[in-house]
Structure 1
Amino acid sequence: MTGETGTSHRERSKARRREAIRRSGMRLFAERGYDGTTVADIAEAAEVAPRTVSMYFPSKHDIALSVPDEIAARLTAVFRDRPGSGFLDVVDTWLTGEADALDPELLALLTAMFEANPALKAHGSSQLTEAVRLTGPALAAATGLPESHPMHAVIGAAVGAALSQYFGTVLRHDDAPGTHPLFMACLRALVDTARQGAPAHPRII
């Protein structure tokens, strides 16, 4: 029991240290800019050694995109854990979970960092687009378009962009409960439009 308690304490300490490094980095990226912040600056702000920063995050880029990476990973995990569910149902479940999982203070840091560093925001958006791309089979089943159909890629990109914009809206206005139903209605309209245009026997030229 003592060994388990000791391990649990170490894991919590590591998690707190990682989070302190991440938030310090994001805060400095917002205040000084990504290029104007060094690993040494982040280490000083987090009260750790530069080597410790590198143990948790191999690069500044990993710190800056850690939140979008985790959001995208949770989307992929929900699809993996619910293979029989429809695309829209899984997205709905995932977004509901995100509203509970994301810390308002962390979201505020993310917003400030993205506003100060537009290039980072573009990279963060691409993470969601890539996660949607990986859910291709579920999206194809929802639209009726085979994954080889040209419009499948278009719809996938549109859904990824819509999700990115949704998070941007929530970050700016902090109204996930109010925005969520309207967003899901828009997403359903997008998928329904694709489904109506799907040929019964698509011929790809």
Structure 2
Amino acid sequence: MRILIIADVHGNWEALRAVVNEPHDHLIFLGDAVDFGPEPRLCVDYLRSHATWGVRGNHDHGIAFDTGCRCYGAWKAWDDATRVHTLRTLSSEDRQYLRSLPMTHRLTVGQVSFALVHAAPTDPLYRYLPADAPDDVVADELRVAGADVLLVGHTHIPMIRRIGERLVVNPGSVGMPRDGGSGACFAVWEDGRVELRRASYDVEATVRRLQDQQLPQDVYDGIAALLQAP
């Protein structure tokens, strides 16, 4: 069984479309379909139809329940500016789908148990679990997760961490990677092994559609620069 693991799509349809071209039997979505990118509705509609399992991210939660995403700095400005487009674009059915996503989910594939959460088991929507987190912090999150494999997103940076016999996997961000690399990040689980991958996509098409939103210049420049990172 081949499982595609994705997170942090953020309205980037071109990136999502490239990633899901990867052959797979099931799709796991770890939250944040919306905000920042120009095509949130296409992304939400695809995930609603094709994600086998999914959880709610902080941006999904914000759109679904009319609350803040708890972003800071430039990311807060980007969220405020692009949320107008997100709210205008999504249908009531789209928002209901985001509301329906659980904050955590558990499943078993073969003999392996998985815990799914956007941020961290101790704080499903907002806590960051970075790649360089101390072992005791990661071990505590694994203890709360109570699974062989903990799948998280939120940081936009891919990682695989092993603590004893357990794994923490972050596939990175499909739509807004923050690790300085190009392409859309994702992970593949197959036959008890996980691999981090990247997919090339038409970044300039996303940037052109972003320009159509008539965002404040500093917001457009910031998001475009992140998308166009070499």
In terms of fraction of residues, the more helix-rich structure is: 1
TM-score by length of 2: 0.22
Q: Which has the higher contact order (CA 8 A, sep 6+)?
A: 2
**Rg comparison, structure with higher value:** 1
